[in-house]
Amino acid sequence: MEISKEEFLKQFGDDYGYPNSPKNIDEIRATEFKRLEGLVYLDHAGATLYSETQMESVAKDLTSNLYGNPHSQNDSSIATSDMISAARQKVLAYLNASPKEYKCIFTSGATAALKLIGECFPWSRESYYVYTMENHNSVLGIREYALDRGATSVAVDIEEVQDCGDQYETTGSSIRIQRHSVLQRTNASSQGLADIHPSGNAYNLFAFPSECNFSGVKYPLDLVKIIKEDGGKKLGGSSHSRGRWLILIDAAKGCSTEPPDLARYPADFVVFSFYKIFGYPTGLGALVVRTEAARILNKKYFSGGTVSASIADVDLVNRRESIEQLLEDGTLPFLSIASIRHGFKIIDSLTISSIARHTASLATYVRNAIVSLKHENGSDLCTLYGSNMTKVLPPDLGPTIAFNLKRDDGSWFGYREVEKLASLSGFWDPVAGCFCNPGACAKNLGLSHSELLSNIEAGHVCWDDNDILNGKPTGAVRVSFGYMSTFEDAEKFLKFVVSSFVTKPNLSRDAYPFETQSLTGSQFVGGVHLKSITIYPVKSCAGFSVQSWPLSNTGLLYDREWLLKGPNGEILTQKKVPEMCHIRTFIDLQKEKFYLESPRSKTKLQISLQKNSLCRLKEEMDVYGQRYDVQNYENEVNMWFTEATGRPCTFVRCLGLKSQHCSSKGGREGTREGLCRELRTNLNFSNEAQVLLISENSVNDLNCRLNNQKGNCRSEQQSVVDAMRFRPNLVVSGAEPFAEDNWISVHIGKAHFISLGGCNRCEMINIGQQSGQKLKPREPLRTLASYRRVQGKILFGILLRYESTTISEDGEVPRIGEEQRLRVGQEVYPSMN
């Protein structure tokens, strides 16, 4: 690390670390961001972090000063009005905007500012709304207003090239604009605006980001002058696009390191959010608008603070002449506005130019390093996005890096896999997906319209786990740097990428890359036996162990037959309600009673197993894409669970699976993982399969690795996790570690089970089932990820489907009506691949 940092400083030392500021970067991190100790935060494009001094100053300000509602004339109101005026001036100064030419309108964020422009812009049938492909959804959303009022909407690509003949020349280079499909709505209504703006005098709007939030590509701000002077020719291409062109810059991403200089690039509208610049406050942004442009905005709605007079029962309203008061609705969030000067104080102490150089040095270092990584066979690991925006000139890039990773065989690592492993490794947070920028996503990933539509038809939506469809990524991984980021953050990230994704010699990630020999040296002696049986009647609640238990067509009788549902229909699990592990359960088959107790409830709950007991309502319910007939319970039962969990919930029983579908998309062809696990399975409320089996020696192997990463496991070492951490139904003993990976079927007594493959583990196994607490440092999932990862899944244990009408291992055929049972101690006969 020290040698690497020395080399880094030789190249970037003039730009890195704020050497001329009151505090250098190491002092800033040690004193202002103590909460980052041991963590790496790499989502500054999403939201940067507030400093401790900043928040202390905010608290001191609010506890020392009295701020009242500004819509009055008392002392506290006047103090608030003065503070808001000073805040407006500070915002304008940040963009180098003259108060004579620009006004600052406070909004709830950049999105609200964009919505305000769309609502109030004087669209007509002759208007054009043109925007670059690489734009946030919040910018794309303006087209709904434009199209609805009869305007034409066009997406364009911008290229900055040299020697392009008659194209518009600027600063030694040229701008080439490529138009996409023209969008219009035949049933739109201009609502009379065409009469106000006759042919040739329509208002048009061109929108682009100062920096793309997907790739970090910075757009040339010369576009402001180019479009203003020659927009009709370049964007519309016809006489219908004549008229006045106004320019909108989405600076939500770019404002944190390079705010637009409005004295040089006089855009008409600039939007941004303050939390992107200095972390706090959230829910506050600004629209900086040219005074002349503000005059054409036609705001219909009026509210408190926006009018000088109105009469309740007469159609009369006199609006205020102040642009700020006219466009801002109601009482401003004045306490949040009071906070922004303390954030700007941090930025000013470092200077925005130093922040730009500091973050650029880190991003450049990581880009150069990650793109040079190769697998053992010489194939490239990383594909970067944004670097090929122009055909001639290299693009100007901000401190944002978007990429995807490839295996040594050329197939893609899913971005969810990268995100999941990063979280396990202590990174808060690289993000993955399209980042609400569908145009940049499609453009950089090379997704055609037909591929995008195919993905949507396959069920792909924003934020889901469908990261690879038809062999191509549906999104990317993004890391981004902020003013408090350090070289150590960058280096830890690179080490994570190397250790987790670069293929080492003699290690194949195309099949099970699992060690099949025990670290303890235990041998396969005396056969495999069933060591324990556990039933979990309520999904995510505690189970109970038995010596013997009957089977049914859904697996173990009553296993996961009930669940808890939140007030909005969400399924409650330990991931969000870890207290559920304290709800203890037991079923008495002879008495046909179901007993529950919780340390939060004074009384024990007793429910009859008869399906009409305490029945309030039968209905259909969707659980993770499967449709069930379910039974709800009376309020008395629901109140007991509400008390036990500390939140409103209802108790639901499964009456039967109504419909099912294949949810195992993207598996490897020709393997068990490529098949749909549900098609032949009758499930209760279990996620994937009827029965989960864990091998005791596989757990022992994991404990050895947790105790000593070098694998020098000794029998006297402490067990870190036990089998129950994985909430198995069946635990077997006597098998070699991970021998179960190769079992295709299992006979236990007269019962026959089909293996559906490995169980994909999640963060729930990091919750201690006794304490209900997430254990740090993210174990055992983090260690499992280091050696049990296959095609984006972290596998441990196998999933089984019970075959209720099969011949047993001894050749006997079960008699009709004969009860099938499992018993602890029975021999387990696996069939191997």
Active-site residue numbers?
436
Question: How far is residue 675's CA from residue 350's CA, in Å, rounded to a whole number?
Answer: 56
Task: Find the DSSP H helices in 13-74.
Answer: 25-32, 52-64
Q: Which amino acid, residue 101?
A: E
Q: Which of 740, 625, 659, 751 is nearest to 692 (CA)?
A: 740
What is the enclosing helix (H) or strand (E) of 487?
Answer: helix 487-501
Question: How far is residue 382's CA from residue 398's CA, in Å, rounded to a whole number?
Answer: 19
Place of tokens 């020719």: 233
Place of tokens 């453009």: 443
Q: Which of 479, 547, 478, 544 is nearest to 826 (CA)?
A: 547
Q: How many CB atoms lie within 10 A of CB 8?
A: 18
Q: Which of 259, 268, 291, 250 is nearest to 205 (CA)?
A: 268
Q: Cis peptide leading into 780, omega within 30 of 0? A: yes
What does the block give as tokens for 408? Answer: 């040594």
Strand 244-250 versus strand 203-209 pairing type: parallel
Instruction: Give 175-210 as a DSSP string.
Output: EEEEEEEEE--TT---TTHHHHS-TT--EEEEEEES
Question: How far is residue 413's CA from residue 646's CA, in Å, rounded to a whole number?
Answer: 39
Whole-number Cα distances in Å, 433 to 363, 442, 460, 473, 494: 20, 11, 11, 9, 20
Place of tokens 């880190």: 362
Place of tokens 């991003």: 363
Question: How far is residue 367's CA from residue 486's CA, in Å, rounded to a whole number?
Answer: 15
Question: How far is residue 79's CA from residue 72's CA, in Å, rounded to a whole number?
Answer: 11
Q: Is the dihedral of CA 499, 505, 507, 509 positive or negative?
A: positive
DSSP character for 761?
P
Q: How many CB atoms lie within 10 A of CB 723?
A: 23
What is the enclosing helix (H) or strand (E) of 770?
Answer: none
Question: How far is residue 464's CA from residue 433's CA, in Å, rounded to a whole number?
Answer: 9
Task: Find the DSSP H helices in 103-192.
Answer: 110-120, 137-140, 142-148
**Paired strand residues for 307:** 319
What does the block give as tokens for 473? Answer: 């990524």
Q: How many CA atoms lie within 13 A of 189 on its CB side?
A: 2
Question: How far is residue 627's CA from residue 439's CA, in Å, rounded to a whole number?
Answer: 35
DSSP character for 212?
-
Place of tokens 């509208």: 269
Residues 6+ apart with CB under 8 A from 817: none
First to last CA, the chain: 46
Place of tokens 């880094």: 8
Whole-number Cα distances in Å, 502 to 413, 437, 462, 514, 716: 11, 29, 28, 17, 35
Question: How far is residue 679's CA from residue 22's CA, in Å, rounded to a whole number?
Answer: 65
**Paired strand residues for 695:** 732
- Cβ atoms of 704 and 717 within 8 Å: the answer is yes
Q: b/e per residue, 419-455, with b = 16+ CB within 10 A?
A: bbbbbbbebebbbbbbbbbbbbbbbbbebeeebbeeb
Whole-number Cα distances in Å, 726 to 254, 541, 580, 699, 806: 45, 13, 15, 10, 29
